[in-house]
Structure 1
Amino acid sequence: MIKLESIENLKSIVDVVDVVGNYLQLKKKGSNFTAPCPFHSEKTPSFVVSPTKQIYHCFGCGATGDAIKFIMEYEKLSYPEAIEKLASMYNFQLEYTKNRNFVNFNILEKLNSFYKQNLIHNQTAFNYLKDRGLKDNIIEKFGLGYAPSSNEQLNFINQAKLPMNEIIELGAFAKGEKGIYARLIERITFPIFSTNNKIIAFGGRTISNHPAKYINYSNTKIFNKSKTFYGLNFARDKILRKKEIIIVEGYMDVIMLHQAGYTNAVATLGTALTNEHLPLLNKLNAKVIVAYDGDNAGINAAIKASTLLAQNGFEGGAVLFKDGLDPADMIKNGEDLTSIFQNNTPFIEFVIKETINKFNLKNPHQKEEAFNEVKNFILSLNPIVQDDIANFASQIMQIPKNLFKIRNNNLKKITINKKIDPTEASIIKTIYENRHYLNEIVEYLSPEIFTYHSEELKILYQEEFDNPILYDIVLNEDIKTFEYESLREAIKNILIRYYEKELQQIRFSTLSFEEKAYKSRVLREKIKNLKKGIL
């Protein structure tokens, strides 16, 4: 039997509008949604779904119930079958007899109240938010707080008599070799809400120069970061009304956009948009605007997101913020982003142009690489549009259209494989499997030193071990892991290669003689020490 506590947990994260919206085309009417009733024939819609009451009701035939009852009636299922169907829709792990106990959502609410009180008393954290341009009302709306030391949090938990086993289960604390410790320490906290406004996790931003600037909770039974959009609980109504969703990179971008009136903005938890986000976007049935930073990481993330959305037929486009600014910075500076969002570049056009921009087309080898990437992308699209897109790409690249060899009767989706560097990948996999190395390695190996896998290393430093971007490496059995000494040796070799490249660039730079001499001397000293075995 399914535990009653498990059913209540499931009900607490279910939204009846989402559930019914999987089956019917709902239209917003006032604070409710309407549709023709699925349980009797009618011309004028009399079927109403209430997001506030979490029920549906037909004024024609009298059908009434919650999300579970709707699935029972619509799919002709028994109560247990409907529960299991609903759980599968939300990727929720049901509990049966002799399984875990009920988890109290109020625990995270109480923890957030503690964090909010600490923000008031921590001038450094509060000043950081004010310096970023946040107003008091928006800090309150998003429930921002501050997580103090692990001991202070433990004291609060003990005083509040909160059950530690449930706190660990919800991801707020973890067990390590040295005992139990708080997941977020000396960080500004961002509560992450379900669509029905229940706190399901937290993210945190360091104010103590920790190399992992932002971290999120690991996945729990009520939280899956690959299926969650930050801020969706606040943005959902505006998205449904405007039929448009803006996806940005981070917490601060979402909050500042909402403060400026762009209340249809959300963020992925990490920069990666994944296949697991797509069902939620499908439910929203809105035009998608991907708006990322204009640095290399942002461009690559925007290309990946645009590729995924184009391959799955989503309408919308991409925007890149230039000059090293992000939406939060631009809003703080008083800039109007409306025209930027309106002038987005359609996904397919964006992917092709930005892919080409990565290469020097005057170099025959690079032009061939660019052609192959663009061709593979075109072949991954709907066959109906491939011919037109090939024509567009051939004009930009000045390559005959027939070389793309578009054949609409025999097309298969082709995955664009990223080059894997064996040494960098082995370092990534070794750190992933030996996470206690992190604190040491972060001291001397920064992500930009990697040529091919800087994004994966950054994800490791952010402790996002469940990020799907890592899976191509950590699940690849052909990639070996290093013993500790071999790991240090591999890192030394990579650092030497990096510093030698930097040295070469300095020689041909426009720096003054004195600057060249000083920087060259520093780099030679680093290389000398590394060759002696000193990291």
Structure 2
Amino acid sequence: MIKKSSLEQLKTTIDIVDVLSNYVEFRKSGANFKACCPFHGEATASFTVSPSKQIYHCFGCGVGGDAIKFIQDYSKLTFQEAVEKIASDTNFTLEYEDGNFERKDYATIFEVTNKLYEDNLKDEKLQYLLDRGLTLESIKKFELGYAPRSDKQIAHLRDQNISFEDCVDIGILAIDKDKLYARQIERITFPIRNHLNKLIGFGGRTLKNSKDIAKYINSPETKLYSKSKVFYGFNHAKEHIFKKGNIIVVEGNLDVIMMHQANLNTAVATMGTALTKEHIIQIKKANARAILCFDGDIAGKKAAYNASILLSQSEIDGGVVIFDDGVDPADMVKNDRTDELYALIKKPINLVKYALNYIASNYDLTNPIHKTKVLKECVEYLKTLNPIIANEYKGYLAELLNIATYHIVLGQGSFQNEMQSLRSPDITKADEKFIKTLIEKPDFMDYLFTHLDYRALDNKYFKAVFENENEDILRPLIVRDDIIIYNKEDFLLACKLKQKYYLESELKKLSISIDDDVFAKMDNLRAKINNL
């Protein structure tokens, strides 16, 4: 069981925005951050995170809590599992009470395996990498190795007293029909580390030239490794990405290593998958400009198009570099063409322009019917962008299709008042301001009851404030930063006005009453109103 003191220390160490940004794509909104809720489908962002309060709340479905609660719900974990995941991701060492609880030391297994692979990189295996243009410094920096036969790996793990069950859990070993075997066999190995530099998997490239053997394989999806969330080389590139404000996304591990070797040290690669929303989150968190460097074959151009769409819709600046004639970045570095590579990366094709060009390239623009289809497809794409950005490319599209700009109708409305959509239907703006003020300035409670009848505050929100409970009700108001709280003078005036409205409503009720003393009561209320 985790020690309470250790848990409290973890809570004070972590930042909810940092934790949640690995799962949700945020944008700044005043003092808070906003996103589309990951727990229910929505088009308008209603998921709000308050860094000052260290809580989140969705105004759409009502979920909310702290960072630990988010990980519990998002990853379907127990409280302890969620705490351990956050601790692992943030490199925080938890302390446990005495007992029989056992933590699995996956990090040691990975490092022992990686050391075995590194020690086996020699002779013709090492020469293969040198012949590809890699230096010994790069090989050491990226910890490249060679996976020997399966039986040798299993024997080595057994000698190190490592659990085979744990090895299966993290994808180093596998079982097929009761037979245990190593996943990476007789391959050059590329250790995969996450953004915290923790080893979470391996990539492998065979040296055999056979159609029956996959050239590249990566670790399977595990509790530690998810290929859609990882950039190869990000652990080495991270510092440079934040410093330089750009990220270069390439297609292969060797491309990454060779580009770093050429001092293009913001290069990373996806793990055999297309660019994903999880990758976008990392790029946005770094506030980086994205340069896509893809092969000039059909698959490469299509991948660049899909990535351009995703990046531009996420309002990320950047461009595309396409390598023709079967050349890739690794080849250019090896063949001393780094100056050409630098020049290409400095002047990429703009993301939106590339996407429009790609759409147009699939049609015959001399055919009016085809041109109409291109226009429709391009307009549909532009409509998915921020209206200001989209309008900037109307002229470019008109020139591309050789048509007048008035033919390009985006039909995008103005931005709506987002905060208005976040208001609860059962509370007035005035009460929102009252309650927010009492939350932020609890000492104003004395002024409230000096000037206001308690019955004027008869709703669940005021009750939650007075009784200091039911956080779920108050959380939507706590996280909102569009509510301006009262100063003392205005608060006193607002209390008097609220009391006046309350008394007037009571007077109206009495006007249709048949009580014997109704007139005396009405006179009493009128006197109170006049005093206000």
Residues 242 and 160 (structure 1), Cα distance of their counterparts in 2 relative to 1, 3 Å cut? same
User: Which residue of 1 is the match for residue 190 of structure 2?
Assistant: 190
Pairing of 1:428-443 with structure 2 (within 5 A): none
AA in 1 matched with 2:117: Y
Of 262, 267, 270, 1:268 maps to 270
- Distance in 1 (alpha carbons) for counterparts of 2:411 and 2:165: 58
- For the pair shown, the structure with the greater C-alpha radius of gyration is 2
Deviation at 1:300, TM superposition (A): 0.6
Pairing of 1:108-123 with structure 2 (within 5 A): 108-121=110-123, 123=124
- Distance in 1 (alpha carbons) for counterparts of 2:219 and 2:201: 6
Residues 319 and 88 (structure 1), Cα distance of their counterparts in 2 relative to 1, 3 Å cut? farther
How many correspondences in the alignment? 356
Q: Which runs of 5+ in 1 are unaligned?
A: 24-37, 39-70, 413-535
- Distance in 2 (alpha carbons) for counterparts of 1:362 and 1:215: 44
Residues 177 and 375 (structure 1), Cα distance of their counterparts in 2 relative to 1, 3 Å cut? farther
Pairing of 1:109-508 with structure 2 (within 5 A): 109-121=111-123, 123=124, 125-177=125-177, 179-209=179-209, 210-335=212-337, 336=339, 337-364=341-368, 366-409=370-413
Q: Which has the higher contact order (CA 8 A, sep 6+)?
A: 2
Deviation at 1:271, TM superposition (A): 4.5
SS at match of 1:306: helix
Residues 176 and 237 (structure 1), Cα distance of their counterparts in 2 relative to 1, 3 Å cut? same
Of 45, 68, 77, 1:84 maps to 68
User: Which residue of 1 is the match for residue 18 of structure 2?
Assistant: 19
Deviation at 1:264, TM superposition (A): 1.0
How many percent identity over aligned positions?
37
SS at match of 2:330: helix
Residues 102 and 92 (structure 1), Cα distance of their counterparts in 2 relative to 1, 3 Å cut? farther
AA in 1 matched with 2:172: A
Residues 329 and 221 (structure 1), Cα distance of their counterparts in 2 relative to 1, 3 Å cut? same
Deviation at 1:102, TM superposition (A): 2.6
Residues 187 and 299 (structure 1), Cα distance of their counterparts in 2 relative to 1, 3 Å cut? same
- Distance in 2 (alpha carbons) for counterparts of 1:282 and 1:303: 19
* Structure 1 length-normalised TM: 0.60
- Distance in 2 (alpha carbons) for counterparts of 1:308 and 1:167: 36
Contact 1:361–1:367 (8 Å) recurs in 2 = yes
AA in 1 matched with 2:191: P
SS at match of 2:222: coil
CA deviations on 1:107-162 (whole Å, 9 max, x unpaired) are 101000000111125x2x22221111001111011000111222221122122221
- Distance in 1 (alpha carbons) for counterparts of 2:398 and 2:71: 47
CA deviations on 1:32-70 (whole Å, 9 max, x unpaired) are xxxxxx9xxxxxxxxxxxxxxxxxxxxxxxxxxxxxxxx
User: Which residue of 1 is the match for residue 39 of structure 2?
Assistant: none
SS at match of 1:185: coil
SS at match of 2:400: helix
- Distance in 1 (alpha carbons) for counterparts of 2:104 and 2:279: 27
Contact 2:365–2:371 (8 Å) recurs in 1 = yes
- Distance in 2 (alpha carbons) for counterparts of 1:388 and 1:362: 25
SS at match of 2:316: coil
Residues 72 and 390 (structure 1), Cα distance of their counterparts in 2 relative to 1, 3 Å cut? closer
CA deviations on 1:396-446 (whole Å, 9 max, x unpaired) are 11234444431122899xxxxxxxxxxxxxxxxxxxxxxxxxxxxxxxxxx
- Distance in 2 (alpha carbons) for counterparts of 1:72 and 1:378: 33
Residues 22 and 374 (structure 1), Cα distance of their counterparts in 2 relative to 1, 3 Å cut? closer
* Structure 2 length-normalised TM: 0.60
Residues 401 and 99 (structure 1), Cα distance of their counterparts in 2 relative to 1, 3 Å cut? farther
Residues 364 and 411 (structure 1), Cα distance of their counterparts in 2 relative to 1, 3 Å cut? farther
SS at match of 1:184: coil
User: Which residue of 2 is the match for residue 45 of structure 1?
Assistant: none
RMSD, aligned CA: 3.5
Deviation at 1:278, TM superposition (A): 1.4
Contact 2:294–2:301 (8 Å) recurs in 1 = yes
Deviation at 1:188, TM superposition (A): 0.7
- Distance in 1 (alpha carbons) for counterparts of 2:329 and 2:202: 22
Q: Which runs of 5+ in 2 are unaligned?
A: 23-30, 32-49, 57-64, 82-99, 417-532
SS at match of 2:122: helix
SS at match of 1:203: strand
AA in 2 matched with 1:143: E
- Distance in 1 (alpha carbons) for counterparts of 2:307 and 2:386: 17
User: Which residue of 1 is the match for residue 54 of structure 2?
Assistant: 75
Residues 369 and 99 (structure 1), Cα distance of their counterparts in 2 relative to 1, 3 Å cut? farther
